[in-house]
């Protein structure tokens, strides 16, 4: 779909949604070092600095040449690349490392905080609090939250979903019990198997549903952190409760069959930090934990599964919105707003001045409506 020439003229655009960003780039080693600096800012709570690094990394991912002292001048003139970053890049070219990375990695704090956030339910702020209590390792956390190898399985099973009451949040304790499972990566074949099982169950509720596996899988990752599926049906009405109903019905069925073991968010239930969308009731999501039944060949582990139900007229915006990457999505929204007078998010596209809604019939049409050239999902790894 895209020529090499195409990639070579696109890398200087300031919006990630106009650049070609492959999964692995010619400057992967540099990008990985800068990712440590970014992660350090994020985990210490310096969100603006973290975002700046994220933009820098994203620009470098699209640069199609190996960076050397001969072309660093060109890099310095790319959008979002400042002089401070340039000297770090220069340091990397000359020494194969960045001194600040070395000093971050030489202490215990960064390692502990990163380790803590591998527990579902622990974000940077909680991680810092736990660290300030003197806790340093996952073992420390397990003692603190009273999780042991003997009790782990029971704790993992202890959260019962009551579909008539408020959903319990996944506690850090349950997160700890599920940690090993949830942090192991999901191969493409298992993503496809999970998708198949889910759609098979859905077909028993309502035949003729359509779906796309989105997220990192669609961007070509060999191993994903979770499974993201966008689902619709041509007869679903937006506005009403149909989308919501189908979503809840499927999750309940999967839960009854023991396939969904935990539900962290489900439409129709009160949730403390619900994401407010600008386009009303056209989209519903369920954030869950899923496990394939054990079979002769293998013992399966718990996986994060996100199900997104879209009314048919916003199916393609939902697919684009849930394909990512996060930076690609951020700049899609920014581009739409700043350059096109449009509003874009997973739940719809509208014109800002009169809120006129648009209903694209394909992914290509989503890009067209936003005045962008379509980019292959595997080049959206911004």
Q: In the window 276-335, what residues touch Mn ion (CB under 5 A)?
A: 295, 306
Residue 346 binds: one of ligand TTP, Mn ion, none (C-beta under 5 to 8 A by kind): ligand TTP
CB of 203 to ligand TTP, least distance (A): 24
| DSSP 8-state assignment for residue 305 | E
CB of 330 to ligand TTP, least distance (A): 9
Question: Which residue is at the shortest CB distance from ligand TTP?
Answer: 324
Distance CA 103, CA 20 (A): 33
Interhelix angle 326-340/47-62, rounded to 10 degrees, is: 90
Q: In the window 19-48, what residues touch Mn ion (CB under 5 A)?
A: none
How far apart are the two ends of the chain, measured CA to CA in Å? 18
CB of 238 to ligand TTP, least distance (A): 18
Asked if 212 is part of the footprint of ligand TTP (rule: CB under 6 A), the reply reads no
For 133-165, give one letter per residue: b (16+ CB within 10 A) or e. eebbebebbbeebebeeeebeebbeebebeeee
Residues composing the chain? 382
> x/- site string to Mn ion, residues 228 to 247, per CB under 5 A?
x-------------------
Distance CA 369, CA 344 (A): 10
Instruction: Determine which helix (DSSP H) or strand (DSSP E) holds 212, and give its type and residue range.
Output: strand 210-213
Angle at 259 between CA 236 and CA 191, to 5 degrees: 75
CB of 135 to ligand TTP, least distance (A): 26
Residue 377 binds: one of Mn ion, ligand TTP, none (C-beta under 5 to 8 A by kind): none
Name which position in 42, 54, 226, 345 contacts Mn ion (CB under 5 A): 226
Q: In the window 225-264, what residues touch ligand TTP (CB under 6 A)?
A: 225-226, 228
Strand intervals (E) in the chain: 186-187, 210-213, 223-224, 226-232, 260-266, 283-290, 303-310, 342-345, 348-351, 357-358
Instruction: Determine which helix (DSSP H) or strand (DSSP E) holds 52, and give its type and residue range.
Output: helix 47-62
Q: Which residue, 119 or 213, is less far from Mn ion as judged by CB? A: 213
Distance CA 215, CA 320 (A): 9
Q: Which residue, 36 or 93, is less far from ligand TTP as judged by CB? A: 36
Stretch that binds ligand TTP, among 45-53, 66-74, 100-108, 219-227 (CB under 6 A): 219-227
Residues within the interface to ligand TTP (CB under 6 A):
215-216, 221, 224-226, 228, 275, 321-322, 324-326, 329, 346
Residues within the interface to Mn ion (CB under 5 A):
215-216, 226, 228, 295, 306
């Amino acid at each position: 779909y895209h020529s090499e020439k195409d990639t070579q003229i696109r890398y200087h655009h300031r919006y990630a949604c106009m650049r070609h960003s492959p999964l692995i780039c010619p400057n992967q080693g540099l990008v990985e070092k800068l990712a440590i600096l970014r992660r350090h800012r994020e985990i210490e709570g310096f969100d603006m600095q973290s975002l700046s690094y994220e933009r820098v990394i994203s620009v470098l991912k699209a640069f199609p040449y190996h960076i050397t002292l001969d072309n660093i001048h060109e890099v310095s003139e790319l959008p979002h690349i400042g002089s401070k970053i340039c000297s770090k890049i220069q340091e990397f070219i000359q020494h194969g490392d960045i001194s600040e990375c070395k000093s971050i990695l030489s202490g215990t704090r960064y390692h502990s905080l990163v380790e803590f956030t591998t527990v579902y339910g622990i974000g940077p702020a909680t991680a810092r609090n736990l660290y300030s209590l003197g806790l340093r390792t996952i073992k420390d956390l397990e003692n603190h939250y009273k999780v042991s190898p003997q009790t782990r399985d029971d704790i993992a099973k202890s959260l019962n979903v009551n579909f008539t009451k408020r959903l319990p949040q996944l506690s850090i304790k349950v997160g700890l019990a599920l940690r090993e499972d949830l942090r192991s990566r999901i191969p493409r074949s298992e993503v496809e198997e999970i998708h198949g099982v889910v759609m098979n169950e859905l077909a028993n509720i309502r035949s003729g549903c359509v779906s796309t596996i989105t997220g990192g899988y669609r961007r070509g990752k060999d191993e994903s952190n979770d499974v993201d599926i966008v689902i619709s049906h041509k007869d679903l009405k937006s506005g009403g409760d149909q989308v919501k109903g189908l979503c809840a019905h499927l999750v309940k069925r999967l839960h009854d069959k023991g396939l969904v073991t935990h539900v962290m968010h489900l439409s129709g239930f009160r949730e403390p930090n619900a994401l407010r969308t600008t386009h009303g009731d056209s989209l519903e999501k369920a954030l869950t934990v899923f496990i394939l039944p054990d079979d002769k060949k293998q013992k399966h582990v718990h996986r994060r599964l996100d199900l997104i139900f879209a009314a048919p007229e916003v199916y393609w915006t939902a697919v684009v919105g849930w394909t990512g990457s996060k930076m690609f999505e951020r700049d899609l929204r920014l581009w739409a707003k700043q350059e096109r007078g449009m509003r874009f998010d997973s739940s719809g596209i509208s014109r800002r001045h009169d809120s006129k809604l648009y209903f694209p019939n394909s992914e290509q049409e989503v890009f067209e409506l936003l005045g962008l050239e379509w980019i292959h999902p595997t080049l959206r790894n911004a």
